[in-house]
Chains A and B, each alone.
Chain A
Amino acid sequence: ETGVTQTPRHLVMGMTNKKSLKCEQHLGHNAMYWYKQSAKKPLELMFVYSLEERVENNSVPSRFSPECPNSSHLFLHLHTLQPEDSALYLCASSQDRADNYGYTFGSGTRLTVV
């Protein structure tokens, strides 16, 4: 366990389904992030939350909808996804956005869209 817990670990969903990914941290961090990891591509930053407010949306399609109800929890709501959205979705946290000493990542949710 890294201190950041993601559920579920694996998810298979159809293109018409609606599902949610959950991320939880009890490290007292103030910033949380969603990243997408695809094979042979760099980690792609999707969303940034700082003190529960969204501060960045990296041109992510609206079929991905984040929610941060409190500083310990982050969700990624998914609907009408495409097969190319299949990837590992990683949540991370840091003390604050300018923290140079590393993000703490969860183990990710392996998403397959069929």
Chain B
Amino acid sequence: GQSLEQPSEVTAVEGAIVQINCTYQTSGFYGLSWYQQHDGGAPTFLSYNGLDGLEETGRFSSFLSRSDSYGYLLLQELQMKDSASYFCAVRDRRDDKIIFGKGTRLHILP
């Protein structure tokens, strides 16, 4: 079967660094994506990793290890506006379907 596992909630302090992990199981892997969703808002695309390694976009970085079926999203210099839910998603090579995790709710304390 296909599944993604990520923590349901993470709490961090403003200005700090936080890492949100994602492990996955798919029949044919084709890339790991991350999305952010604020309460009442649309999920918005953050990053995509098709190959192993780190991708950096400003304060956000995403990492992938295909041999470990594992990735993470790293958020640096946390700001209150980063309080949101973060979803990892994988594309299954067999049918091009994108499968989403349940999401990680990030709480940021002042």
Contacts and interface: CB of A to CB of B under 8 A. Distances in A.
Given A102-B33, A102-B45, A107 B40 contact: yes
B48 A42 contact: no
Interface SS of chain A: helix, strand, loop or mixed?
A: loop
Contacts of A98: 96
Centre residue among B4, B45, B102 by max chain A CB count within 10 A? B45
B75 interface: no
A40 to B, nearest CB: 7
Contacts of B103: 42
B81 to A, nearest CB: 17
Nearest to A58: B97
Given A100-B31, A100-B50, A102-B33, A45 B43 contact: no
A106 interface: yes
Interface residues of A, number: 22
Contacts of B35: 102, 105
A98 B35 CA distance: 17
A25 to B, nearest CB: 12
Interface string A39-79: 01111010010000000100000000000000000000000
A56 B95 CA distance: 10
Given A43-B87, A100-B50, A105 B43 contact: yes
A48 B87 CA distance: 20
B101 interface: yes
Interface in B53-96: 87, 91, 95-96
Nearest to A40: B102
A92 B33 CA distance: 15
Given A100-B91, A102-B33, A107 B42 contact: yes
Contacts of B4: 42
A101 B99 contact: no
A41 B102 contact: yes
A100 to B, nearest CB: 5
Interface of A: 2, 4, 40-43, 45, 48, 56, 90, 92, 97-98, 100-108
